[in-house]
């Protein structure tokens, strides 16, 4: 195919022209865009300059990496760079140390911003400007650490000068208090007396006020102002009563005061602060109201005397009511004519009236005869004091039956005839229940003492039997005997020694359990492989007539337990079942459910009496009625081991039918394989 060269040149020229036009258009667009951005930046700079100039604010930055200060001019926003030394020349030396400390605090991220008040370096005229400076983070690096800190400062020199002028004006203004008709006293910022008027001198008998001012009396020298902190004082009005004679005799602080006797005084304390809310002093405006108060006292004296008797009577009634309340007692009256019992809990309130039948109905059935006997004696007008304690159907806040003690004495008329009975009804519930509890505890203590005696008797028997056997067979070695019998003697000695050692080990082991000296080491082991060995070891001494059944539904069960102590608990539990079972069967099984290992040991032995089941795991209970059940320590040892491993143990039992023990141990399972 032939190529048309002339058309190709035309296409190239056209493409070149189009590209040139596009570049020109793009160049002009970029130019106008940059020009617009430049105008916007200039506008923003102008606004920033106006804001900084209007607020008298200067700005600077500190680069933490380069250790350079950059000062931004508020006129044209030009930048000037300073070294730390050059920058420090712009401020007072001590104030610059505060600036450096604040920068380090922000740089170490101890705080985000900080505000300081600093002084600049003296000018050629000797003037020193004061600035209010704010520091904040301007830029951070990728690790969120400050790399540039912004500082803005505002010239507050004029404001400070105005505050000083206002302070001077205020102090001058307060000098007019000398002509006031009330006591005017001024204390400076440190609490020292600075000025007082003639009226105050007259009130307190101060003859030489200049001496008082020179001596430097403090505000806290005045008894009424001892606890006042001038730095935190707010507008306060006080009324005080001061015995000046007593104060001067015990705590003389203002010898210039010549007034004596008691003074009633009313004062208003007004703190003075400058523009920065700094304390400048306290103005005290007061007046002597002694004469007015004493006149008021004389007017009230007559009214007080009239009220005293009424108040005394009311106090007597209140005291009696309070006594009734704290003693949980009631005033009672019984009227034989109407057969009515009246109970008063408060002399100022209405009493409760009960008929004879209603009163008896509220008494417990066990004490109803005693209540009837009490009422019968009053109906027959006995002239002796009658006292009886009865149990009622009422309940206290603890749900206990309430016991009430009635002590009634006869009230007679002029002719000696009994009109009614008056006395007290006291709540003796607490005492009655304490006596009942003491009786129960005494019976319990006696029972425990009997159990301990039985345990000691059995323990003595259990220790003596193998010990005598050891001694007896050892004596046989000394006497004439056949050498063929020596292995039998040695075997019996070893067997009884093992029994004796086991008894002593049980006593020592439970003592260590009580002292929490047993250490538990948890490890992952195959419980399925160990369970049968532990059960068989516990049943080693079982009767030959007893069938042994171990149900193991796992080929493997890897759990995290303490194999040594758990094995001890299972062996002792199985051993106890073996001792109580002379015929029938012994059965054990286990299952893992919800992070718990459930172990069940059953036997068809003699079982327990129903009243013994709740005490099955108590000390000394295992041999309370049957000395053949070991030493009585097997089940308590199992219970302590299981509970210290965080588990629980319980038992179901019936006399002559055997026991079923349930043991639950919390554990973690790693893996399992069921049969």
Q: Helical H runs in 224-289?
A: 244-250
Q: Is 652 left (phi over 0), alpha (psi -120 to 50) or beta?
A: beta
CA distance 121 to 92: 5
Angle, in degrees to the nearest 10, between helices 634-644 and 563-580: 150
Q: Which CATH architecture has domain 518-674?
A: 2-Layer Sandwich (3.30)
The CATH number of 57-155, from 3.90.1150.10, 3.30.420.40, 3.30.450.20, 3.30.300.30, is 3.30.450.20
CA distances from 667 to 534, 590, 591, 650 (A): 18, 14, 12, 18
Contact 150, 135 (CB under 8 A): yes
- First CA to last CA distance, the chain: 88
pTM, two decimal places: 0.37
CA distance 608 to 173: 101
Domain boundaries, the chain: 1-54, 57-155, 178-288, 327-427, 429-515, 518-674
Burial class for 323, CB neighbours closer than 10 Å (0-12, 13-18, 19+): exposed
Predicted confidence at residue 622, as pLDDT, reads 46
User: Do the two domains 57-155 and 327-427 of this chain adopt the same fold?
Assistant: yes
The CATH number of 429-515, from 3.30.70.360, 1.10.287.130, 3.40.605.10, 3.30.1490.20, is 1.10.287.130
SS3 track for 325-349: HHCCEEEEEEECCCCEEEEECCCCC
Partnered with residue 155 across adjacent β-strands are 131
Partnered with residue 91 across adjacent β-strands are 120
CA distance 515 to 632: 19
Partnered with residue 601 across adjacent β-strands are 588, 661
Q: Which CATH architecture has domain 327-427?
A: 2-Layer Sandwich (3.30)
Predicted confidence at residue 212, as pLDDT, reads 86
Predicted confidence at residue 624, as pLDDT, reads 41
**68-72, strands of its sheet edge to edge:** 79-82, 68-72, 57-63, 146-155, 130-140, 114-119
Range 178-288 has CATH code 3.40.50.720: no
Mean pLDDT by runs of 10 across the 675 residues of the chain is: 60 76 75 66 51 64 87 72 86 88 87 86 82 85 84 82 72 60 86 87 89 87 87 88 89 88 91 85 90 86 83 79 76 88 77 85 87 88 86 85 88 89 85 82 73 62 70 74 75 76 75 82 92 92 89 92 93 90 92 92 89 78 47 83 93 90 93 88
CA distances from 138 to 5, 77, 146, 231 (A): 65, 17, 8, 38
């Amino acid at each position: 195919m032939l190529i048309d060269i002339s058309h190709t040149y035309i296409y190239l020229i056209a493409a070149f022209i189009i590209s040139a036009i596009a570049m020109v258009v793009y160049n002009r667009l970029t130019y106008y865009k940059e020009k617009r951005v430049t105008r916007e930046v200039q506008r923003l700079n102008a606004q920033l300059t106006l804001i900084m100039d209007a607020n008298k604010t200067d700005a600077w930055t500190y680069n933490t990496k380069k250790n350079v200060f950059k000062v931004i001019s508020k006129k044209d926003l030009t930048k000037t760079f300073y070294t730390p030394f050059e920058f420090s020349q712009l401020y007072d030396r001590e104030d610059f140390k505060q600036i450096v400390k604040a920068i380090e605090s922000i740089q170490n991220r101890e705080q985000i911003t900080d505000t300081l008040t600093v002084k600049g370096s003296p000018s050629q005229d000797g003037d020193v400007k004061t600035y209010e400076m704010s520091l904040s983070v301007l830029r951070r690096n990728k690790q969120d650490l400050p790399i540039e800190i912004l500082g803005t400062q505002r010239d507050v020199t004029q404001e400070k000068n105005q505050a000083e002028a206002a302070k001077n004006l205020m102090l001058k203004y307060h000098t007019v208090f000398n002509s006031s008709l009330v006591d005017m006293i001024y204390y400076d910022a440190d609490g020292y007396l600075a000025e007082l008027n003639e009226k105050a001198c007259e009130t307190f008998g101060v003859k030489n006020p200049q001496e008082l001012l020179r001596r430097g009396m403090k505000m806290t020298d005045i008894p009424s102002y001892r606890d006042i902190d001038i730095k935190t004082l707010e507008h306060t009005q006080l009324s005080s009563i001061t015995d000046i004679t007593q104060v001067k005799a015990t705590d003389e602080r203002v010898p210039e005061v010549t007034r004596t006797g008691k003074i009633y005084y009313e004062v208003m304390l007004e703190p003075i602060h400058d523009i920065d809310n700094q304390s400048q002093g306290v103005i005290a405006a007061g007046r002597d109201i002694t004469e007015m108060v004493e006149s008021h006292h004389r007017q009230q004296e007559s009214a007080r005397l009239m009220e005293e008797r009424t108040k005394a009577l009311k106090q007597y009634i209140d005291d009696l009511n309070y006594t009734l309340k704290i003693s949980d007692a009631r005033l009672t009256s019984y009227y034989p004519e109407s057969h009515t019992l009246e109970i008063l809990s408060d002399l100022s309130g209405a009493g409760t009236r009960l008929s004879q039948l209603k009163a008896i109905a509220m008494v417990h059935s066990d004490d109803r005869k005693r209540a009837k006997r009490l009422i019968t004696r009053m109906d027959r007008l006995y002239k002796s004091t009658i006292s009886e304690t009865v149990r009622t159907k009422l309940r206290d806040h603890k749900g206990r039956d309430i016991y009430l003690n009635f002590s009634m004495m006869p009230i007679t008329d002029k002719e000696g005839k009994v009109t009614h009975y008056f006395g007290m009804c006291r709540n003796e519930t607490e005492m009655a229940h304490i006596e009942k509890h003491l009786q129960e505890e005494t019976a319990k203590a006696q029972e425990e003492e009997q159990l301990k005696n039985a345990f000691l008797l059995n323990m003595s028997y259990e220790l003596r039997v193998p010990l005598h056997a050891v001694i007896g067979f050892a004596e046989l070695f000394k006497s004439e005997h056949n050498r063929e019998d020596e292995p039998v003697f040695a075997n019996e000695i070893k067997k009884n020694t093992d029994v004796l050692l086991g008894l002593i080990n049980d006593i020592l082991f439970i003592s260590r359990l009580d002292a929490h000296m047993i250490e538990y080491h948890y490890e992952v082991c195959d419980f399925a492989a160990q369970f049968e060995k532990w059960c068989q070891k516990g049943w080693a001494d079982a009767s030959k007539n007893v069938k042994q059944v171990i149900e193991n539904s796992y080929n493997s069960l890897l759990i995290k337990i303490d194999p040594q102590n758990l094995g001890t608990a299972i062996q002792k539990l199985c051993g106890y079942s073996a001792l109580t079972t002379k015929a029938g069967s012994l059965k054990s099984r286990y299952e893992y459910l919800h992070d718990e290992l459930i172990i069940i040991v059953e036997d068809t032995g003699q079982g327990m009496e129903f009243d013994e089941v709740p005490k099955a795991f108590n000390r000394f209970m295992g041999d309370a009625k049957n000395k053949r059940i070991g030493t009585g320590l097997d089940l308590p040892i199992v219970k302590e081991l299981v509970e210290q491993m965080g588990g629980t143990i319980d038992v179901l039992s019936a006399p002559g039918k055997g026991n079923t023990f349930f043991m639950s141990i919390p554990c973690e399972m790693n893996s399992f394989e069921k049969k």
